[in-house]
Structure formats: structure tokens, C-alpha cells
Structure 1
Amino acid sequence: MPKIKTVRGIEEHKVVSPEEWLAAREDLLKAEKELTKLSDDVARKRQELPWVRMDKEYKLDTDEGEVSLIDLFKGRSQLLIYHFMFGPDYNAGCPHCSAIADGFNGIWNHLANHDVMLWAVSRAPFQKLQAYKLRMGWTFPWASSYGSDFNYDFHVSYTKEQQRSGSVEYNYNKGNVSSRQSDIAPTDAAPEEGKKIASSTGTDWATYTQEAPGMSAFVLEDGIIYHTYSTYARGLDGLWGIYQWLDRAPLGRNENGFWMLRHDEYDLKSLLKGDSNDCCA
């Protein structure tokens, strides 16, 4: 009988010979190749989606003052926007959005050189975004949609009235969608983890959940902007570098409690010594 090894009491694993491991790995490789081909097919379908002409004007605050959506293209033909959860009443950005945004610094300039501009857009006033950007050491472009309908039109911000009535739309579902944990009315009990996340942004659960994450894509052709794609919820997983690494780690995502902090909130000396957060131990 092969030995069974328990890792942190999470899951039991067989311990096998190198030959048996190789056979299992080759079976998995077949599945991985199938997934890669399927991902390529989905990417093609994504690019074949029809376009929607954008006739509505939006005013956004940037380093260069108030601009229109077309100005975010910066001479490129394509625009990608990450809808970053940072509402007007937040004192800090969502920790999860902050984690995905850590990866923007290393890629936005490559995208800009490839005819694609990457921006983050949030509803908080520009001064708040600038202060947080400085704290995080980020360089990627970030615009404020404060005072405009942009976030509401792309279903990543909700009014208090929408929350109370449950008439929200997220990830192409209408109503108080159970698939999104934060689609909880203010009168409902907030989850303990949600309270901690909200508190880390300086808000309560109801205020925190007036914002939602997502990304949208646009193309500029003959001076006209077209909306080509938007994705939300688990559709963002592929853009989140940390999840791609965790999915290849022995224990997977292993998400327990409020485990993800902003990068300047970790005790790096402790981590380098081999210590881990209590939530992950």
C-alpha cells in the first residue's frame, strides 16, 4: 500500500515512485494541453464579439486634468480599463484590487508599446487615488470617474437605493446575485471576512459593497470609440498573477480568512525568516 501523507491536515496525498509520478504527470499534461487549446478558442471568440458604439461622453480626472474617455487611448487604438474598487468614502483601495494592480506596473508600458493602453479607473476623487498610488509605489495610469456615470454604466458601482432594493446587475446577472458574495443588502448580516476587508478600506460592509471589480475593453476606429468586452468576478482570475501561481502550488489557493494584505502591510523580515500569517498557518 502506498503511504498517505497529510499536508497541514488539508488533504491526503499518495506518496509514489518517480515512475508512477511521471505517468500521472503525463495524464495531467494532456488535460493542460486541452485547456490551452480551449483557452485559445475562447480568446478568438472574445475577439470576434460584435462592438457597441460609445456615444455617451464621460469626463475623467487624470494627471493632465479633466479628460474624455477618448483621451485615455493616448494615440493607441485599444484601451483596457481595470475597474478598481476605490469608492469616494474609501480611505484605501480594496486589498484584492491592490494585489492585482501590483502586476500592472510591470506590464502597462509593454502594452503601451503594443498599441494598447492600460488604465485603472475608480470612483474616488483623484486626490485620494494619487495619495494611494504614491503609497503603493505604482506608476500605471489611474483616472477618477468621480461625478460621472462611467462606473454605474459598466455595473461596477451601485447606489444605496439599488443596494436596498436588490436591483443590482453584476456579471450579466440582475438582482441580488448569490454568486457574488458582496451582493448583500445593507440590512443583511455582513460576513466576518467581509467586515475585515471593508474595515481595511476605512468603510463598513454596506459602503464597501457599493463598488465591484471588473475590466472593460475598447477600440478606437476613425475617431469613434466602441465597447468590445467586459468581464467580472471569476472572469478576472486569468488577469490576476497571484492566482496563476497559487493554482500551481501544492495546496492550490488555500484561501482561509482574510489572508491577502496590501504589499506594504506584510512583515517582510518575518516572511523571509519563514514565518507566515496566522490565517495561513
Structure 2
Amino acid sequence: MNTITMPGNGAHHPVVSRYDWLVQRRALLEREKALTHQRDQIARERRALPWVRIDKSYVFDTPAGRRTLAELFDGRRQLMVQHFMLAPGWEQGCKSCSFMADHLVGAQVHLEQRDLTVLLVSRAPLAEIERFRQRMGWQFKWASASGNDFNTDFAVSFPPETRIGGEVYYNYRMTGFPQEEAPGISFFYKDDAGEVFHTYSTFGRGVEAMMMTYDMLDMAPQGRGEDGDDYGMQWVRHHDRYESAPAVATSSCCASRA
């Protein structure tokens, strides 16, 4: 058996015949199929979770004026909210949340065909949101929660009074999350009577569901290439900053390997 040296990390990777490769590939395929079936089962259990009626009134600022949560469904029954990390006064939105949002550009039209409206929500004022949205060239809807408790209630914004012993409630547990904002994805359903229900939320590495780039990298020879990094997604930049981005570590806006 021969080996090839991988650039960058200097690791030695085996090189075998096509027959030997097929033997190992077929064995891995069985595990991949089992994982696919397990994911299907988890998806069924996710959809079977009970719902929570939204009794609190949330009013958001949008380019079309002030809108309630129910009005943000845009004529559809389902709503997906990306909790985008952009707090009042920030110069720009979180680079990792931007990485997530980039994947919505092609997906939005298909999601809408399945009765699902896509919406970004941040705590920054609408003018600051619009300035950053235009810079990034995104067309999807983005609402400001600056005048309500939506972000706090859904545990993606952490005012000082919510910190207990340096920890906040995030991803369904108390944790030492270092930032004032956190990423997440939430789903809602609106019935014929106009009542809104919270059906599901995911946080931490659960938001990788929006990151198709990672799925592609996981199949590539060098993988994600993050093993030696100080934190996950250290390499990610805003899509208009890659050419000029310095090849040095920068502080993470939502660093988490959990």
C-alpha cells in the first residue's frame, strides 16, 4: 500500500487499488444508509413535537411598516426565522450568520413553493439592517425586533440581567456564551384562525442545517480544515471580504464547537 502526503497538515493518506477502495466504500455506504434512515426518523419525531401557542404580541419594524408576527408569514402557513446576530450599533452582521444567510439565496424560491416563508430577524434598528443587507446584496425579508422582546424570549439575545454567574440560557441549557447575541433558527405555523404556534427551534451546531457548504466540505478530501483552528468557522468571511481577508485569527462572533 502506498501513501500520499496531504499538503498543509503533512498527513500520510493511503493509496490502494480500485478493488480495495470499493470494498471499503461499500462498507461505508452501509453506515451512510443507516445514518440517512436515522435522520429520517429524527425528522419525523421533530415534526411530531407538540406546539406552543404564541400568546404574546410581537410587532416588528419592516421596510413595509410595522408588522405583527402573524403578518410576517406573507400569506403562507409556515415561517422560518433565522435569528441573525446584528445588535444595535454593530458595524456589520455576524460573519457566521452571513455565511448561513448566503445559502438562502438559492433556496428561498424552493422553500416558498413548499408553503414556507423565509425571514431574518435581528435586534438592530431597521436602518442598520437595511444598510448591511444592501451591502451583502440580499433580497430576502429582514425584520427588526428592536422594539420587542422576541430575541430575549427566544434566547438569542442576552441583556445583562439575563446573565447568572457569567452564564446565559442558550441551546436549552445554562452556558458561558461570550456574546450578547447568538445564532438560531425557529419555525412557526399559522392556522386558519390566524393563531401562531412555535413548532421548533435549533441552536449551536444545529444551525449547520443551513450550511450546505459544510456538507460539501465534509465529502471533500481535506474536509472542513478546521482541526487546528482556535474555534469553528474561524476561516469564514463575509462573502465580499474574502480577497482582502487577512490570514490571521479573528475573534469569533458565535464561536462554539458544542
Do they superpose with TM above 0.5? yes
Distance 1:214 1:56 in 2: 20
Residue 165 of structure 2 aligns with which residue? 165
Q: What SS does the corresponding residue of 2:190 show, helix, strand or coil?
A: strand
Equivalent residue for 2:189, pick from 213, 219, 223: 219
Distance 1:129 1:44 in 2: 35
CA deviation map 1:85-113 (0-9, x unaligned):
11112110100110110111212122222
Q: What SS does the corresponding residue of 2:219 show, helix, strand or coil?
A: coil
Assess, with a 3 A threshold, how the Cα gap between structure 1 residues 10 and 83 changes in structure 2: closer, same or farther.
Answer: farther
Equivalent runs, 1:79-98 vs 2, <5 Å = 79-98=79-98
Residue 7 of structure 1 aligns with which residue? 6
Residue 61 of structure 1 aligns with which residue? 61
Equivalent runs, 1:1-281 vs 2, <5 Å = 2-8=1-7, 9-163=9-163, 165-176=165-176, 183-184=177-178, 209-221=179-191, 222-255=193-226, 256=229, 258-267=234-243, 278=247
More displaced, 139-148 or 251-260? 251-260
Q: What SS does the corresponding residue of 1:247 show, helix, strand or coil?
A: helix
Q: Which amino acid is the alignment partner of residue 11 of structure 1?
A: A
Give 1:165 deviation, angstroms.
3.3
Give 1:37 deviation, angstroms.
0.6
CA deviation map 1:183-238 (0-9, x unaligned):
13xxxxxxxxxxxxxxxxxxxxxxxx100000100000121101000000111112
Q: What SS does the corresponding residue of 2:55 show, helix, strand or coil?
A: coil
Aligned length, in residue pairs: 242
CA contact (8 A) 1:259 1:277 kept: no
Q: Which runs of 5+ in 1 are unaligned?
A: 177-182, 185-208, 269-275
Task: Determine what percentage of the aligned residue pairs are the same residue.
Answer: 43
Q: Which amino acid is the alignment partner of residue 58 of structure 1?
A: Y
Give 1:10 deviation, angstroms.
5.0
Distance 2:247 2:89 in 1: 29
Give 1:28 deviation, angstroms.
1.1
Distance 2:87 2:164 in 1: 18
Distance 1:7 1:175 in 2: 37
Q: Which amino acid is the alignment partner of residue 78 of structure 2?
A: Q
Residue 188 of structure 1 aligns with which residue? none
Distance 2:13 2:248 in 1: 23
What RMSD, in angstroms, separates the aligned Cα atoms of the two structures?
1.9
Q: What SS does the corresponding residue of 1:165 show, helix, strand or coil?
A: coil
Q: Which amino acid is the alignment partner of residue 6 of structure 2?
A: V
Q: Which amino acid is the alignment partner of residue 239 of structure 2?
A: H
Q: Which amino acid is the alignment partner of residue 27 of structure 1?
A: A
Give 1:57 deviation, angstroms.
0.4
Assess, with a 3 A threshold, how the Cα gap between structure 1 residues 10 and 278 changes in structure 2: closer, same or farther.
Answer: farther
Q: What SS does the corresponding residue of 2:151 show, helix, strand or coil?
A: helix
Q: Which amino acid is the alignment partner of residue 96 of structure 2?
A: H
Assess, with a 3 A threshold, how the Cα gap between structure 1 residues 165 and 147 changes in structure 2: closer, same or farther.
Answer: farther
Distance 2:40 2:174 in 1: 29
Distance 1:123 1:24 in 2: 49
Distance 2:247 2:19 in 1: 37
CA deviation map 1:40-73 (0-9, x unaligned):
0010001000010100000111111111000111
Give 1:174 deviation, angstroms.
1.9
CA deviation map 1:4-50 (0-9, x unaligned):
32212253311111111111111111111111111100100010000
